[in-house]
């Protein structure tokens, strides 16, 4: 079934639905880049806003750039819309029954078919994720996950034995880590995330990867050579009943500090770890940096901080006052054992946000 579905997606160029150029001005001036109108929806999806209104207003322009079959797949597996039976059945001939049996597709009365999860193309992968947030354990492919996946692919890493992805979610970072490690474990506290990541592993035919439902605080395995993670960094109030897996504790850094303390125990003697998180600035003080300096004195770890200074996070109306940093920067933490215990600040290369997150989505580079 999966081979047939992948063949259908490839044959009808589904992976190019999110091929976004880096330069918006150039894109808008060239008709063949009409798919740029997907940017509004996709960018908002990756930042948990999920507004499709602008996309609907621009869809007439986009449709000119899509072949009919690609457009149907896009409506079905990217937007989650109901598509008429007479359109779906010929398109998914030979795989429709299997998709229904696997609950990846379901019938909506006599109106048509709807996908249970969306399929997001990234490089030469297809990743199943949930549609717009409707429950606390929503599994999504976030902008920061795309950022870190691209970062991992853009750098040379030595071969490692065992890898660990903390908070594996859709599995995207687990799969990137597998390129450099003999075997990789992905852990996530959400059963739904583990199920979705396992589906993505099978769909993309990836070996040497295991997904486990567990809380990293209780996870007992150690001796990992390469650990990656994208800890929740939203400074949501505890009373907020939205996406539970986005809450990072006060100022959005509490879970990051807990993950680093776990890494101290789990990392192999000469291992390394990469964490992508946010660095809030409150009343002129960078809360994360202060916490890291205290932590390295206790742990003996070395932490190099790469700062993406162009990534200010605006305050949100429903934040409680004590959870409201004035702004937040995206930071990448390089953690090593057996190095001089210190916190080193250095800038991340200045990548335009659109370029670094979206360049090559759907491509095979």
Q: Is residue 19's pLDDT more than 50?
A: no
Q: Single out the residue of 45, 144, 152, 123 nearest to residue 353, CA to CA.
A: 144
| Sign (positive or negative) of CA dihedral 260, 147, 174, 197 | positive
Distance (Å, whole) CA 133 – CA 167: 18
pLDDT score at 60? 45
Domain spans, the chain: 2-116, 143-358
**Virtual CA dihedral for 79, 82, 86, 89, nearest 10 degrees?**
70
Superfamily of domain 143-358: Vaccinia Virus protein VP39 (3.40.50.150)
Interval 173-198 mean pLDDT: 93
List, as one string, the DSSP characters of 25-69. HHHHT-GGGGGGGHHHHHHHHHTT----HHHHHHHHHHHTTS-HH
Asked if 183 and 162 touch (Cβ cutoff 8 Å), the reply is: yes
Asked if 196 and 128 touch (Cβ cutoff 8 Å), the reply is: yes
Q: Single out the residue of 290, 282, 294, 168 nearest to residue 219, CA to CA.
A: 168
Q: Single out the residue of 51, 47, 98 nearest to residue 79, CA to CA.
A: 51
Q: Which has more pLDDT, 117 or 78?
A: 117
Please give the structure tokens belonging to residue 314: 């605006």
% of the chain exceeding 90 in pLDDT:
21
The set of residues, in sequence order, having a beta carbon less than 8 Å from that of 178 and lying 6+ positions away, is: 163, 184, 206, 208, 209
**Virtual CA dihedral for 139, 140, 141, 143, nearest 10 degrees?**
-130
| 2-11 and 191-203 helices, crossing angle to 10° | 70
Q: Is residue 50's pLDDT more than 50?
A: no
Asked if 175 and 209 touch (Cβ cutoff 8 Å), the reply is: yes
Please give the structure tokens belonging to residue 324: 């409201």
pLDDT score at 298? 75
Q: Is residue 26's pLDDT more than 70?
A: no
Mean pLDDT of the chain: 72
Q: Single out the residue of 299, 188, 316, 182 nearest to residue 242, CA to CA.
A: 316
Distance (Å, whole) CA 48 – CA 46: 6
pLDDT score at 5? 92
Asked if 155 and 108 touch (Cβ cutoff 8 Å), the reply is: no
Q: Is residue 223's pLDDT more than 80?
A: yes
**Which residue is listed with tokens 């192999």?**
268
pLDDT score at 311? 42
Cβ neighbour number for residue 77 with a 10 Å cutoff = 26
Q: Which has more pLDDT, 45 or 23?
A: 45
- Give the model confidence (pLDDT) of 274-291 as tens digits: 988 877 766 666 777 777
pLDDT score at 163? 94
Q: Which has more pLDDT, 290 or 39?
A: 290
Give residue 339's pLDDT band: very low, low, confident or very high (50, 70, 90).
low
Q: Which has more pLDDT, 32 or 5?
A: 5
DSSP class of 189: S
Q: Is residue 314's pLDDT more than 70?
A: no
Give residue 297's pLDDT band: very low, low, confident or very high (50, 70, 90).
confident
Interval 324-329 mean pLDDT: 53
**Chain centroid to CA 91:** 29
For the ranges 25-39, 69-83, 147-161, 316-330, the lowest mean pLDDT is seen at: 25-39
- Give the model confidence (pLDDT) of 157-173 as tens digits: 888 889 999 988 889 99
pLDDT score at 212? 93
10 Å CB burial of residue 8 (0-12, 13-18, 19+) is middle
Interval 198-211 mean pLDDT: 95
For the ranges 36-45, 170-179, 292-301, 331-340, the lowest mean pLDDT is seen at: 36-45
- Largest alpha-carbon pair distance within the chain? 66
Q: Is residue 54's pLDDT more than 60?
A: no
């Amino acid at each position: 079934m999966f081979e047939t579905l992948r063949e259908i997606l490839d044959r009808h160029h589904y992976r190019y639905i999110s091929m976004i150029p880096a330069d918006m001005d150039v894109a808008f001036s060239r008709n063949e880049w009409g798919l740029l109108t997907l940017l509004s929806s996709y960018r908002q999806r990756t930042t948990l806003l999920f507004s499709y209104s602008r996309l609907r207003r621009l869809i007439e322009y986009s449709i000119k750039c899509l072949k009919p079959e690609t457009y149907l797949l896009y409506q079905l597996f990217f937007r989650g819309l109901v598509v008429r039976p007479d359109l779906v059945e010929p398109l998914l001939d030979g795989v429709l029954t299997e998709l229904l049996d696997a609950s990846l597709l379901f019938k909506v009365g006599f109106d048509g078919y709807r996908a249970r999860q969306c399929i997001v193309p990234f490089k030469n992968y297809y990743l199943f994720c949930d549609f717009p947030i409707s429950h606390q354990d929503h599994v999504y492919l976030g902008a920061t996950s795309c950022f870190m996946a691209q970062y991992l692919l853009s750098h040379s890493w030595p071969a490692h034995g065992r890898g660990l992805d903390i908070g594996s979610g859709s599995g995207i970072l687990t799969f990137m880590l597998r390129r450099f490690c003999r075997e990789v474990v992905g852990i996530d506290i959400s059963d739904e995330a583990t199920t979705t990541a396992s589906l993505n592993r099978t769909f993309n035919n990836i070996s040497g990867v295991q997904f486990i439902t567990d809380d990293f605080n209780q996870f007992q395995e150690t001796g990992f050579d390469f650990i990656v993670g994208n800890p929740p960094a939203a400074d949501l109030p505890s009373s907020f009943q939205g996406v539970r897996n986005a809450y990072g504790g006060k100022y959005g850094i509490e879970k990051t500090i807990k993950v680093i303390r776990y890494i101290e125990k789990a990392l192999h003697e000469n291992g390394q770890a990469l964490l992508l998180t946010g660095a809030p600035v409150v009343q002129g003080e960078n809360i994360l940096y202060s916490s890291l300096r205290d932590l390295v004195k206790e742990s003996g770890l070395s932490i190099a901080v790469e700062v993406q200074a162009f990534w200010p996070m605006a305050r949100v109306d429903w934040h409680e006052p004590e959870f409201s940093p004035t702004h937040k920067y995206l930071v990448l933490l390089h953690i090593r054992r057996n190095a001089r215990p210190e916190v080193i600040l250095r800038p991340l290369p200045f990548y335009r946000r659109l370029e670094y997150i979206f360049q090559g989505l759907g491509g095979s580079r």
